[in-house]
């Protein structure tokens, strides 16, 4: 069918879907937004794959704390077959899960993410990155149970349609399609609204504006600025909660009110995430959340903030896009319009359970409603702890764990241990073991059984496990006994020679030796009796 035979309304719809024809005078352009979205997404992907290169083997490798091979075997047994497991949790590791197979996609992803960061990307590159990272998320077990993992998968999926398939360049010849910009805004809308609603519904301190009097101290990994904010006047904490509610519960609705209102919302979204980056170490969550927020800004707005060279390149890209569209066959425009219409319809359909969840009085957060994690529900800190509990692992080389034994502490890389050590700054990176220890401290070893395997690894002096820590207090030979003690930590007052005060609550795991029958039986029950692991003492 010739374009001349279509109605003006049909041509405008096709233009909106594919961005193929010359836009109307004054229409917003998004070349600079696309440039920033893809560059920042490349940085986030690079952080994610760098974490895997650094921590993947001791966490998920064949001798790791939760090996992928054991996980896929259990799931396949439960579901009846490997193919059923793949359909439920798509991942490359259903086909192979050796240590080399684990590192290869991590390195491949890191290289591709670095190219994206440099501006060398297209739809195929973004699709490959998404598939590689999905493999780790679906097989990563406890270490990948965070909301930002599925948020990265959804954001990465949208990025596939933000850039063309055939060219690799920072400013492609084709305009960003308006539906993809709208879908990015729909993502940031859900992220903000989901977080805001779960707070209002989940904890009274968000309603009485007192949560930030506790949060800076009790968040997973505080940074040095967190202590300053914790001891700031209560009015500062109250203002912070108000800013949170305005950003998460009011600003998303401005996305429905036109270009200028959308820009205002975008400023709030980005500014709010920058305050979170400054006040804590929430992995790459806040950096990732800025990605869809950038879709709130058109070229006219961003050109005032960015170097002239970039604005000039965006103008050149727009002129080139106009020339490209003028010579493109109508069939190409129709195919692209159909593809984006199908994408829009698919994500609208997948959004139905997400919207129902947001409207529900029993809202859940950080949950996917589909196998491929294409449209998810999000939220953070629905409840805020009033005190900080920390597990400190200790070892001794003495013959008996009695009152005369000398215990040495294992230091985590970021989690508070030594009261004199200042809080870390690691964002956008993520020490996954430290986060899980933070969760475990709110529960018991029965709910986090890998902590007993962690004790076994320490007793063996396992180099991979020790690489997850800040150091090894037993460099010559492993300890004879290891225990875990539970403390309550509080920020030390300003001016103190230490950063934390702590109070001992008791043993979280009692002293265990490598030959302790209790440890042996526990590891055996989970199938974790590795070579050299615990064995019963026959004496």
Contact predicate 42/36, CB 8 Å: no
Q: Mean pLDDT per 10-residue run, the chain (539 residues)?
A: 48 54 65 95 98 97 95 94 94 94 97 96 96 97 95 97 85 86 97 96 95 96 94 96 97 96 98 96 96 96 91 80 66 82 93 94 90 94 94 96 95 94 92 96 94 97 96 96 98 93 97 95 87 48
Contact predicate 523/456, CB 8 Å: yes
Contact predicate 299/30, CB 8 Å: yes
> Can you tell me the distance from the alpha carbon of 387 to that of 217, in angstroms, rounded to the nearest whole number?
8
> Can you tell me the distance from the alpha carbon of 1 to that of 3, in angstroms, rounded to the nearest whole number?
7
305 Cβ contact list (under 8 Å, min separation 6):
none
Contact predicate 508/391, CB 8 Å: yes
Residue 493 is predicted with a pLDDT of 94
Residue 4 is predicted with a pLDDT of 45
Kindly give the pairing relationship between strand 388-396 and strand 376-377. Answer: unpaired
Residue 19 is predicted with a pLDDT of 55
| H/E segment holding residue 204 | helix 204-207
Residue 538 is predicted with a pLDDT of 38
Residue 363 is predicted with a pLDDT of 92
Rounded to two decimals, the pTM is 0.93
Q: In 284-388, where does DSSP find H-type helix? A: 285-293, 299-302, 308-327, 330-359
- Which residues partner with 485 through β-bridges? 392, 507
pLDDT, tens digit (0-9, with 9 covering 90-100), for 27-48: 778 999 999 999 999 999 999 9
**Measured CA distances, 528 to 75, 279, 394, 451, 519 (Å):** 17, 39, 22, 12, 10
Core vs surface per residue 402-438: b (16+ CB within 10 A) or e: eeebebeebbbbbbbbebeeebbeebbbbbbbbbbbb
Residue 511 is predicted with a pLDDT of 97
> Which has the closest alpha carbon to 132: 117, 112, 158?
112
């Amino acid at each position: 069918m010739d374009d001349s035979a279509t109605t003006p309304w049909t041509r405008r719809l096709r233009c909106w879907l594919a961005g193929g024809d010359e836009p109307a005078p004054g229409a917003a352009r998004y070349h600079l937004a696309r440039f920033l979205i893809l560059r920042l997404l490349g940085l986030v992907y690079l952080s994610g794959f760098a974490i895997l290169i650094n921590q993947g083997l001791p966490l998920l490798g064949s001798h790791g704390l939760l090996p992928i091979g054991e996980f896929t075997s259990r799931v396949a047994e439960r579901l009846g077959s490997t193919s059923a497991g793949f359909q439920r949790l798509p991942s490359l590791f259903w086909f192979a899960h050796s240590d080399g197979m684990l590192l290869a996609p991590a390195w491949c992803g890191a290289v591709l993410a670095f190219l994206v960061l440099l501006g060398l990307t297209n739809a195929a590159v973004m699709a490959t990155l998404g598939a590689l990272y999905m493999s780790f998320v679906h097989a990563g077990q406890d270490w990948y149970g965070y909301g930002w993992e599925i948020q990265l998968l959804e954001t990465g999926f949208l990025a596939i349609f933000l850039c063309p398939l055939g060219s690799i360049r920072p400013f492609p010849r084709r305009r960003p399609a308006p539906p993809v910009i709208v879908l990015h805004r729909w993502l940031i809308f859900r992220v903000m609204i989901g977080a805001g609603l779960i707070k209002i519904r989940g904890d009274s301190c968000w309603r009485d504006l007192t949560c930030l009097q506790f949060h800076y101290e009790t968040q997973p990994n505080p940074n040095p600025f967190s202590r300053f904010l914790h001891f700031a006047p209560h009015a500062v904490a109250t203002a912070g909660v108000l800013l949170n509610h305005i950003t998460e519960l009011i600003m998303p609705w401005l996305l429905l009110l036109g270009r200028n209102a959308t820009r205002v919302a975008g400023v709030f979204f980005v500014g709010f995430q920058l305050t979170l980056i400054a006040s804590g170490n929430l992995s790459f969550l806040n950096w990732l959340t800025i990605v869809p927020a950038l879709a709130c800004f058109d070229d006219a707005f961003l050109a005032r903030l960015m170097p002239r060279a970039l604005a000039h390149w965006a103008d050149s890209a727009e002129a080139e896009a106009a020339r490209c569209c003028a010579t493109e066959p109508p069939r190409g425009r129709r195919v692209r319009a159909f593809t984006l219409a199908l994408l829009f319809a698919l994500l609208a359909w997948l959004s139905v359970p997400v919207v129902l969840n947001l409207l529900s009085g029993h809202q859940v957060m950080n949950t996917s409603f589909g196998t491929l994690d294409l449209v998810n529900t999000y939220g953070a800190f629905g409840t805020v702890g009033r005190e900080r509990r920390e597990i400190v692992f200790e070892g001794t080389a003495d013959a008996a764990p009695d009152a005369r034994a000398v215990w040495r502490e294992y230091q985590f890389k970021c989690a508070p241990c030594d009261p004199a050590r200042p809080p870390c700054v690691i964002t956008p990176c993520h020490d996954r073991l430290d986060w899980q220890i933070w969760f475990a401290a709110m529960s018991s070893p029965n709910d986090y059984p890998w902590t007993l395997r962690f004790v076994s690894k320490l007793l063996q002096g396992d180099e991979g496990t020790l690489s997850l820590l800040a150091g090894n207090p037993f460099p010559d030979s492993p300890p004879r006994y290891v225990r875990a003690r539970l403390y309550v930590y509080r920020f030390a007052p300003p001016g103190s020679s230490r950063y934390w005060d702590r109070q001992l609550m008791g043993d979280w795991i009692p002293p265990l030796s490598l030959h302790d029958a209790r440890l042996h039986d526990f590891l055996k029950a989970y199938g974790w009796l590795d070579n050299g692991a615990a064995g019963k003492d026959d004496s």
